[in-house]
Structure 1
Amino acid sequence: MIHAAVKLSKLVISLSRTSSVAATSSQPLRFLHDGTNGPSSNPVAVQMINYALSHARSQKSDESYAQGMLILEQCLSTQSSESEGQFAQNSIGTVLLAMSNLLYERFEEAIEKLHGVQGLTRSSLGVRVAATETLVGLYLQLGQDDTSSVLADKCLEFLHKDDLRSNGGSKESLIVRAKAVKGLVELVTGNLESAESFFHGVQDTEARNGTAVLSYGEFLHATQQFSLAKELYQNIIEGVPKNEDFSDMNTLAICNMASDEVLLAATFALGQLESHMGNFGAAEEILTKALTKTEEYFGSSHPKVGVVLTCIALMYRNKARQERSSSLLIQEGLYRRAIEFLKAPPLESKGAETKLDRGDILALARVGYAEVLCVQQNRKTEGEKMKTWAEAVWSNRRMSLTDVLDISEPSSKVPVIDARISRVL
């Protein structure tokens, strides 16, 4: 490990020393643009960021992530020597965004870096929108909906106050993104009518963003506009790049809003949609693909794997009800694995008194498992206890657990699980 760290340190020093050469090189550079006539962030910083993230994810180990963070810390130290002006603040901001990406699973540290970006008041709009968009997503995942709503409102405020001419034609797409993330907050809180007003323009803007389009697709899905939602999901799957790219501030997104997560979430949402339409063969195929990708990206026992497993179990439940068949053994196995990966607390715990990570999904998994147990006479008591726990934990404002389980009814509401924030919309 020491040898690797020394090697990486030498690489960082080498990259830093080439900055003056790179700035005058005749070779094309991957500049960051924000609608202005020139680069808005240090291209060498971008090169170091991309290398650090690629190295960290190559092995997905504690050591590789630590080495990736070492590169970013040295890069930040280099950029912070001159912190005035948009160019310098953009460079610092992009490094902080990258650091929050590596710290994604450690919410407090990631949020700290993102708030640091918000403090760079001279940085470009693209940098600040990316930070705010991601903060909203993280706070939604943590169940702090009021904080998410305030941040989304503030983002819209500073965008409307900023001089449009200083940002060229890029501001329109950034406003669409900011409105879409506010729409996502309204979706989470069950305000569908309000959410709709924030999604106007998502399809019309030239610079379509995967996060914004996905949130709009989920709105259409939740309001049972299935054909339009399906089209958007498919567009995302076909058009979103598979790796995060820090070369364009207008499309930059990180943490649970990153392109890889958006791609996974769109595939996952499409599988749910096929299930809701009664196309169970297609649903099974797509959800299995989403499961495989989630395991590859996060690891085979990550809580997000539990989210996908819960949805697959619910799909088998709906299929069995509509086809008047039985899949109790399959459902039981899926629910048990999901509950294990979601790190569910004991049934004796007072889950309703504290905010549980992925509480909506845990409640879904346990109420589905309870239904399977209640069919078995010798396990009915256990099932009833599990159902009571799930009902106490469930916090969705638009639907009750009964609504979710009665999805096959003609007048039923449609639950949509957002894989980015692990919430039921």
Structure 2
Amino acid sequence: MIHAAVKLSKSVISMSRTSLVAATSSQPLRFLHDGTNSPSSNPVAVQMINYALSHARSQKSDESYAQGMLILEQCLSTQSSESAGQFAQNSIGTVLLAMSNLLYERGSFEEAIEKLHRVQGLTRSSLGVRVAATEALVGLYLQLGQVDKCLDFLHKDDLRSNGGSKESLIARAKAVKGLVELVTGNLESAESFFHGVQDIEAWNGTAVLSYGEFLHATQQFSLAKELYQNIIEGVPKNEDFSDMNTLAICNMASDEVLLAATFALGQLESHMGNFRAAEEILTKALTKTEEYFGSSHPKVGVVLTCIALMYRNKARQERSSSLLIQEGLYRRAIEFLKAPPLESKGAETKLDRGDILALARGGYAEVLCVQQNRKTEGEKMKTWAEAVWSNRRMSLTDVLDISEPSSKVPVIDVRISRVL
């Protein structure tokens, strides 16, 4: 496998160098720009990145991902020193972003985070490169439940422009902080960070989605629905590593944003009592998640949990029963989320996707508690879920009782697998 990967990467590098020589011999190379007069990133590096990502995802196997990573490593080795100017640092940064993307897709979060921190060290790179790394770092920290690390990083982070950067990048950086405020339950603080998101020149799905979730959580349903639909209709379907101002990677990448907007729209329809539309949209989100991540990925468990909650809400409002459907969905969700045994002291450990695990087990506990012969099991599960639940804005009971008129509205962000 390694021999094949080395052969493949050398072939790509040779091809890319030939392209670069041909370009420079015929005419001055037209570098990619970020809206200023300074060059943005090496187009040969972008070419290799796109090839590596395409190859890695062609089979989504350990071998194809290893080969894709090796191509990126070879590409990184051909770039200039990290102490060089903006053009060189942009080229290095884009390769590191692509590497973090593949590592994230394979579940290697810590390695992905290490690459992203290296990007943050490229202080002469374009603001677009560093904003993309910031979004991804925050997204990964939030998904891992490491809010304190996230807050510490944002406190130290310096996203000053090197000149010529668009206001849209500043709006994106603010929206990242708004998302963190949503996770920590500070809706009033979150609102201040979303000012100007709709007015940014280069419309960005990641920032707009976070703003839509804020509107959703504050029950401004019509505005939230409009934003979700705009994202679904307008977000690019693939990453574009040639534009420094639109770079977005890891769980903030365009495919994940599109999935998350579809998922959020399904939740919104459920919260508005439109259960037929909710079922259709959430089923579509489930299919997309299985296609993108695989049929047994933990994110499939996130979507299944939300579908189970939709059926629960529907049954309560229509005074019907869907216990068997809910039980089946919760059981599959808990399996895919890789829940630890009930005997484990989950509250003493930072669980990956802990919010969703607690929600899935809390909902399942309710299903079991109405069955006399399974009530003891249900009570045990409920105790575990309440101990693990860590959401600062809503209690587990609040989330499970959203059919009440005065209820707060929970929004599950599938990008970061958190309840907002």
SS in 2 for 1:79: coil
Task: Supply the distance in 2 between the matched residues of 1:157 and 1:353 (Cα, whole angstroms).
Answer: 22
- TM superposition shift of 1:171: 2.8
Please list every run of 5 or more consecutive structure 2 residues that lacks an aligned counterpart in the other structure: none
SS in 2 for 1:165: coil
Task: Supply the distance in 1 between the matched residues of 2:366 and 2:82 (Cα, whole angstroms).
Answer: 61
Contact 1:34–1:167, Cα closer than 8 Å, also in 2: no
Distance 1:234 1:313, change over 3 A: same
- TM superposition shift of 1:105: 5.0
Matched with 1:39 is 39
* 1:413 and 2:408 matched: yes
Q: Which moved more, 1:292-301 or 1:77-86?
A: 77-86
- TM superposition shift of 1:39: 2.9
Q: Which moved more, 1:117-126 or 1:80-89?
A: 80-89
Distance 1:183 1:77, change over 3 A: same
SS in 1 for 2:28: coil
Task: Supply the distance in 1 between the matched residues of 2:347 and 2:79 (Cα, whole angstroms).
Answer: 46
Contact 1:35–1:168, Cα closer than 8 Å, also in 2: no
- TM-score if structure 1 supplies the norm length? 0.92
Distance 1:169 1:205, change over 3 A: farther
Task: Supply the distance in 2 between the matched residues of 1:121 and 1:381 (Cα, whole angstroms).
Answer: 57
- TM superposition shift of 1:375: 1.0
Q: What CA deviation, in whole Å up to 9, does each residue of 1:232-285 have, x standing for no partner?
A: 000000011111111111110100100000000000000000000000000000
Task: Supply the distance in 2 between the matched residues of 1:218 and 1:310 (Cα, whole angstroms).
Answer: 18
Query: How many residue pairs are counted as aligned between the two chains?
Result: 418
Matched with 2:220 is 225
Distance 1:157 1:388, change over 3 A: closer
Distance 1:282 1:304, change over 3 A: same
- TM superposition shift of 1:16: 3.9
Task: Supply the distance in 2 between the matched residues of 1:164 and 1:340 (Cα, whole angstroms).
Answer: 40
Distance 1:362 1:22, change over 3 A: farther
For the aligned residue pairs, the C-alpha RMSD in angstroms reads 2.8
Q: Which moved more, 1:2-11 or 1:89-98?
A: 2-11
Distance 1:28 1:100, change over 3 A: farther
Please list every run of 5 or more consecutive structure 1 residues that lacks an aligned counterpart in the other structure: 145-151
Contact 1:35–1:167, Cα closer than 8 Å, also in 2: no
- Structure 1 runs, 4 residues or longer, greater than 4 Å off: 25-31, 152-169
Task: Supply the distance in 2 between the matched residues of 1:158 and 1:378 (Cα, whole angstroms).
Answer: 49
Distance 1:2 1:406, change over 3 A: closer
Distance 1:162 1:400, change over 3 A: closer
Distance 1:22 1:126, change over 3 A: farther
Task: Supply the distance in 2 between the matched residues of 1:210 and 1:32 (Cα, whole angstroms).
Answer: 22
Contact 1:184–1:215, Cα closer than 8 Å, also in 2: yes
- TM superposition shift of 1:351: 0.2
Contact 2:97–2:249, Cα closer than 8 Å, also in 1: yes
Task: Supply the distance in 2 between the matched residues of 1:27 and 1:316 (Cα, whole angstroms).
Answer: 63
- TM superposition shift of 1:392: 0.1
Contact 1:33–1:39, Cα closer than 8 Å, also in 2: yes
SS in 2 for 1:89: helix
- TM superposition shift of 1:31: 4.7
Distance 1:292 1:22, change over 3 A: farther
Distance 1:164 1:70, change over 3 A: closer
Q: What CA deviation, in whole Å up to 9, does each residue of 1:146-167 have, x standing for no partner?
A: xxxxxx9999999999999976
Matches within 5 A, 1:70-219: 70-80=70-80, 83-105=83-105, 107-144=109-146, 170-219=165-214
- TM superposition shift of 1:25: 6.9
- TM superposition shift of 1:58: 1.2
Distance 1:386 1:166, change over 3 A: closer
Percent same amino acid among aligned pairs?
Answer: 96
- TM-score if structure 2 supplies the norm length? 0.93
Distance 1:157 1:43, change over 3 A: farther
Q: What CA deviation, in whole Å up to 9, does each residue of 1:46-96 have, x standing for no partner?
A: 000011011111111101100000100000000145751111111001000
- TM superposition shift of 1:18: 2.3
Contact 1:363–1:394, Cα closer than 8 Å, also in 2: yes
Distance 1:249 1:111, change over 3 A: same
Contact 2:138–2:150, Cα closer than 8 Å, also in 1: no
Q: What CA deviation, in whole Å up to 9, does each residue of 1:94-151 have, x standing for no partner?
A: 000100001115611001000101111111111111111111111111111xxxxxxx
Matched with 1:149 is none
Q: Which moved more, 1:105-114 or 1:354-363?
A: 105-114
